Amino acid sequence: MGHFSLSPGSWVQRQDIALVGAKMRSMAAKHRRFFSMRFSLVTLIVFFVCAPLAHAGFGITPPYVNNQRLTRGTVFEQKITLVRSDPSEDLTAEITMNIPGIESWFSVDRGNTFILPKGTTQIPIIVRVQVPEDAEYKTHEGTIRVRTSSAAAGPQGSGVSIALGAQIDVDIEVVDKIYDFSVRKIRLSDLEEGRWKWGLFFPGKIRFLMTIENTGNTDYGPTGVRFEIYDADMETLLETTENTNTIESIPPFAIQEVLAELPTRLPAGRYKAKYTIQKGEEVAQQDVLDVSISTIGSVPGYEGYGFGGLSNADKLKVAGFVGIPLLIVLSLAVILARRRTSRPHVRW
Amino acid sequence: MPYQFGLLRLCQSALQGGEGKSGALILAVISALLFTLLFDANVPNARADDVTTSVTVLNTAPTWTVDAQENIGSSTTTPTNSGSVVSWIGTATDSSGDNYYLLICKTSGTPTANISAAPTCNGGVANQWAVSASTGSGLQATAATTTRETFPFQNELNDWFAWVCDGNNPLPRCNLAFRQGSGTTSSPFVVNHPPIFTAISNDGPVDPGDTMTWNSTASDTDVAGVADTVQLIVCRTSGFSNGTCTGGAWATSTLASSNPATTTTIVIPTQDALYSAFVFVIDNHGHSATSTFQGFNSSFTVNNVAPSVSAATVSLEDTDGSGNLTLVTPSATTGPFRVRFTATDNNSCQATVGNEIATATINVYRSGITQAGCDSSGEYNPNNCYASSSPNFSPFVSCTQDGASCSGTSDTTSTWTCTFPLWYVADPTDTATPWTAENWLTSVSILDDDGFSSGLTEGSTGNEMTSFLAFNVTETAIGYGGLEPGQQNDPLATTTDLIALGNIGLDQDLYGDTMCTIWSAPDSCDTNGINPANDIPVSNQKFATSSVGYASTTAFTLTGSTTPAELLIRVPKTTATSSPQERDTYWGINIPSAITQAGSYLGQNTITAKKSNSSFW
């Protein structure tokens, strides 16, 4: 809905929203003739306000690209979601950057011009920051603007139309390498108690999952996990155990769930565990959680430890049972081979 | 007649030592010699008549071949439980080939042999423990009797005397020598009487993890050798055999001289329910009590206990489960966000019917509000406190137990997920906001199937709320009205609004474009430079935060796209979901005098919203 003005205080509503080109000029000519009659020799400028659409809510989140921990050679990606509340038509989004000196570091996965399709309320874009290997250690600030306009060709109304845009603030700093992470979430998978087989005790497997955000700028992650397992009243320490697997490292700035596997020899029951997530020599997180160990066969899909989870004593047993005979066989083979090679050749 | 004296000696010898075959043989020889002497000495020779002779050889008693003994030794260390059989074995031989009986008597008085019938003990049946069936000479005879708690087995120690007798007709005989066995199979046999079990009690109900105790009143009267002791066994089912619970045991006491008691720790988890517990008392020889308390169901109740939530497991998650909380719907709610946590219950995650944990409620709030500041309905505030008790929030919250997260009655934990929406005004806690030092937290409360509550548990870690820059401009165009060349809007009167539809305060950057009557796209009017007669430069437009004069110093000149002009309009952060904050921008234009072409001039101004300094929110 728009308006145009004939004279101050006299507004006429127009419904025709397709008034463009020649029609516009024809109408202007009619006005010129009308005003020529009333105001001879006076040129009148008329600003039509004839817009095709009402604006709907538009937004971006987050409205920034911030990272104070970039280092040389790293890539940082910030997902920014463009949103609008009434996607009744295609819109063209244009991205312009004003980040003095480092614009070449920045790129957008969808390019600098793309369509916000009709019917879609959210369009994520990835702003990628590629820090050169020779980047100076310093702070950079700037802005990225996202401007939207109708994707239809030509003016969609008359007068001074309004386009909407949103600003993404850029604030980055290039620094030396930082190894750091934060723990966003932890969880435990259900587990069963250990079991005896072939005279060996295969312990239960605690699967401790940590959602880690690498807040440094180098591949990194938890360096170790330790569980101190107490009775349900947290009065008696029953077992201390540490991860047996290598915990996966996480790329810089990524959020990822990683797994620590810990053996437990405790029987079925409920326990409290004080867990410690190590960040090198530091403690990244320490807290208490409930540990429920179920009876054998009660957890669907559960897979316990294999030989890797055996105690050192049991490993020695296995080594003795398998390794020694193997060693004997190998030794015999070597001796026989040596004898054959050292036997004097009979020459006829 | 010296040989007659010799015969007398032989006779004496036969009569005194007469036992077995040798005695019989001697007697036969003596008889023959006497016959010869009598007829040689007294009968005239050469009588013509023949004389018929006859003799009756009397039956002799059977003789012991293998001494009698208890078939299974019944001693103070291995007594015979009342109700069990005690038996004796022995072997005898009868010279006449008669069958014989093994008779076990209570006294050493010589028994009476009977013609073609079992012998009887001296004193009659009352003095008899057992008698074998008629057994062939030389075969092993077995006599047995089943013991009882009462007469005649009321005594622990019971002497026995074994005899062998035949049933010869007409002269049944008993061997006059009795036997009493030797070693552990010798007399007496020992009867083990059952323990006396007169009462049972337990100290239920108990909580999982607590100790459950059963107390009995029981004793044993047997004292032979070492006094008997008693033991209390509590079984999960009524099945009990040979001193063992066939369906598993709750508890087994140690052996005690009396009143044994036993305890067991009720494992965690154990469902809250009534549990059967069948009690049995046995003595140290495995003999079971016989009272009505034996096998009595001394059931107990395991209490329902309150569930709990591990603070470390509580996570507040974005709609996609990862990253910071992100609002994406201008002027409305965004969701579903998620709260995940692990519920723990010592009654297990599985109730006797359905899930143990019935419901969950959550409060979600900015950390500065604190748990105590967001735990009641009146504290609800869409900016910073979503209290579950509020009717503005609870209808939109859904909490369910994750499928397959409860693996059964031996599992104490289950995981839960709650989903909920947040309004667009929810306070941001990320960079450059008034709440940068804070984050959003959640506190969780769960209720079990019996209505026991965990109380509120606040998550150890929270999440950041991302700034949401969202806005609207109601106007789609700026109408400057009709102006003649050289005229201007004075004061600035035309307005555009800027409405904050996100969770931050706003400022704006503005830029425009050269206007002309054939404007079709940005920069379309001045592609070949500005024509003063037909184009209105962008700098002829001005804007301000109020209706000031066109020439006012607070009316700012519009610029082109390369150098947008900032207008610190300072739209506050919206705090009321139904009335977003907004501020107007006032516009005016000056028509250059050089313009000669009348008509409708077109152009486009761009309003770029940006996050304002948070001190103006």
For A151, other C-beta atoms within 10 Å of its C-beta total 14
Report CB contact under 8 Å: A300, B475.
no
Instruction: Please report the residues numbered 50 through 79 in chain A whose beta carbons come closer than 8 angstroms to any beta carbon of chain B.
Output: 50-64, 66
Which chain B residues contact residue A159 at CB under 8 A?
477-480, 600-603
Q: What is the pLDDT of residue A10?
A: 28
Report CB contact under 8 Å: A58, B471.
yes
Which chain A residues contact residue B517 at CB under 8 A?
24-25, 28
Report yes or no: A96 and A112 within 8 Å, Cβ to Cβ.
Answer: yes
More confident residue, B302 or B25: B302
Report yes or no: B160 and B127 within 8 Å, Cβ to Cβ.
Answer: no
Distance CA B604, CA A162 (A): 6
| Region class of B83: left (phi > 0), else alpha (psi between -120 and 50), else beta | left
> Does the bond joining A62 to the residue before it have cis omega, within 30 degrees of 0?
yes
Report CB contact under 8 Å: A169, B611.
yes
> Which candidate, B264, B263, B295, B297, places its Cα nearest to that of B281?
B295
Lowest-pLDDT range of A46-60, B328-342, B350-364, B445-459: A46-60
Return the DSSP state at A341.
H
For A178, other C-beta atoms within 10 Å of its C-beta total 16
Per cent of chain B over pLDDT 90 is 87
Report CB contact under 8 Å: A162, B605.
yes
Residue A98 to residues A103, A169, B223, B508, Cα–Cα distance (Å): 7, 10, 104, 16
Of the candidates A81, A145, A187, the beta carbon closest to that of B328 is on: A81
A24 inside 8 A of chain B by CB: yes
More confident residue, B384 or B58: B384
Task: Please check the confidence at residue A1 and state whether its pLDDT lies above 60.
Answer: no
Question: In this predicted model, what pLDDT tens digit does every residue of B226-238 receive, in sequence order?
Answer: 999 999 999 999 9
Report CB contact under 8 Å: A292, B411.
yes
Residue A144 to residues A102, A103, A108, B503, Cα–Cα distance (Å): 12, 10, 10, 20
Looking at the complex, report in whole angstroms how far the Cα of residue A170 sits from the nearest Cα belonging to chain B.
Answer: 12
Looking at the complex, report in whole angstroms how far the Cα of residue B494 sits from the nearest Cα belonging to chain A.
Answer: 11
Report CB contact under 8 Å: A50, B477.
yes
Which chain B residues contact residue A59 at CB under 8 A?
328, 330, 468-471, 501-502
Burial environment of residue A342 by CB neighbours within 10 A (0 to 12, 13 to 18, 19 or more): exposed
Task: Please check the confidence at residue B124 and state whether its pLDDT lies above 80.
Answer: yes
Distance CA A179, CA B287 (A): 72
Tokens for B253, please give them. 């006491």
> Which candidate, B48, B75, B66, B61, places its Cα nearest to that of B20?
B61
Average pLDDT score over residue span B202-207? 96
Looking at the complex, report in whole angstroms how far the Cα of residue A32 sits from the nearest Cα belonging to chain B.
Answer: 7
B63-192 and B209-221+229-302: same fold?
Answer: yes
Average pLDDT score over residue span B91-113? 96
Closest-CA residue in chain A for B607? A164
More confident residue, B335 or A46: B335
ipTM score for this prediction = 0.78
Class of domain B209-221+229-302: mainly beta
Of the candidates B411, B598, B611, the beta carbon closest to that of A45 is on: B598
Q: Where are the domains of chain A?
A: 2-38, 58-174, 182-299
Which chain B residues contact residue A211 at CB under 8 A?
315, 322
Q: What is the pLDDT of residue A4?
A: 27
Report CB contact under 8 Å: A162, B606.
yes
> Which candidate, A186, A215, A222, places its Cα nearest to that of B315?
A186
Who contacts B340 (Cβ-Cβ below 8 Å, separation ≥6)?
A: A185, A187, B313, B314, B315, B317, B415, B416, B417, B418
Which chain A residues contact residue B566 at CB under 8 A?
none
Distance CA B252, CA B263 (A): 8
Question: In this predicted model, what pLDDT tens digit does every residue of A183-214 receive, in sequence order?
Answer: 999 999 999 999 998 889 999 999 999 999 99
Instruction: Determine phi and psi for B5, rounding to 5 degrees.
Output: -60, -40
Distance CA B34, CA A233 (A): 105
A209 inside 8 A of chain B by CB: no
Question: In this predicted model, what pLDDT tens digit does every residue of A151-189 receive, in sequence order?
Answer: 775 555 567 999 999 999 999 999 999 999 999 999 999
Report CB contact under 8 Å: B477, A85.
no
Who contacts A92 (Cβ-Cβ below 8 Å, separation ≥6)?
A: A113, A114, A115, A116, A148, A149, A150, A151
Report helix angle B20-42 to B2-17, nearest 10.
150
The CATH architecture annotation of domain B469-617 reads Sandwich (2.60)
The topology under which CATH files domain A58-174 is Immunoglobulin-like (2.60.40)
Report CB contact under 8 Å: B412, A45.
no
Which chain B residues contact residue A50 at CB under 8 A?
477
Distance CA B595, CA B106 (A): 149
Report CB contact under 8 Å: A255, B322.
yes
Distance CA B555, CA B589 (A): 11
Half-sphere exposure of B459 (CA within 13 A, CB side): 28
Instruction: Report how many helices (DSSP H) and strands (DSSP E) chain A contains, helices first.
Output: 3, 22
Which residues, in sequence order, are bridge partners of residue B262?
B214
Residues in chain B: 617
Instruction: Please report the residues numbered 159 through 198 in chain A whose beta carbons come closer than 8 angstroms to any beta carbon of chain B.
Output: 159-167, 169, 171, 183-188, 190
A304 inside 8 A of chain B by CB: no
Task: Please check the confidence at residue B39 and state whether its pLDDT lies above 60.
Answer: no
Q: What is the pLDDT of residue B49?
A: 65
Q: Where are the domains of chain B?
A: 2-42, 63-192, 209-221+229-302, 308-458, 469-617
The topology under which CATH files domain B63-192 is Immunoglobulin-like (2.60.40)
* SS3 state of residue A239: strand
Q: Rounded to two decimals, what is the model's pTM?
A: 0.80
Considering only the C-alpha atoms of chain B, give the largest distance between any 2 of them, rounded to a whole number of Å.
Answer: 204
Distance CA A305, CA A262 (A): 9
> Which candidate, B521, B539, B533, places its Cα nearest to that of B589?
B539
H/E run at residue A27: helix A21-38
The listed CATH number (2.60.120.260, 3.90.950.20, 3.40.50.300, 2.60.40.10) that belongs to domain A182-299:
2.60.40.10
Which chain B residues contact residue A24 at CB under 8 A?
517, 600
Closest-CA residue in chain B for A146? B608
Instruction: Please report the residues numbered 68 through 127 in chain A whose beta carbons come closer than 8 angstroms to any beta carbon of chain B.
Output: 81, 83-85, 96, 121-122
Distance CA A218, CA A220 (A): 6
Average pLDDT score over residue span B440-454? 97
**How does residue A44 score in pLDDT terms, banded at 50, 70 and 90?**
low
Residues in chain A: 348
Who contacts B510 (Cβ-Cβ below 8 Å, separation ≥6)?
A: B543, B558, B559, B564, B565, B566, B567, B585, B605, B606, B607, B608
**How does residue A311 score in pLDDT terms, banded at 50, 70 and 90?**
confident
Average pLDDT score over residue span B337-351? 96
Which chain B residues contact residue A294 at CB under 8 A?
407-408, 410-411
What type of residue is A232?
A
Report CB contact under 8 Å: B605, A84.
no
Strand order across the beta sheet in which B582-589 lies = A106-108, A122-130, A75-84, A58-61, B469-472, B494-500, B582-589, B541-544, B556-557
Which residues, in sequence order, are bridge partners of residue B281?
B232
Closest-CA residue in chain A for B503? A61
- Share the mean pLDDT of chain B: 92
Question: In this predicted model, what pLDDT tens digit does every residue of B485-501 receive, in sequence order?
Answer: 999 999 998 999 999 99
Report yes or no: B316 and B459 within 8 Å, Cβ to Cβ.
Answer: yes
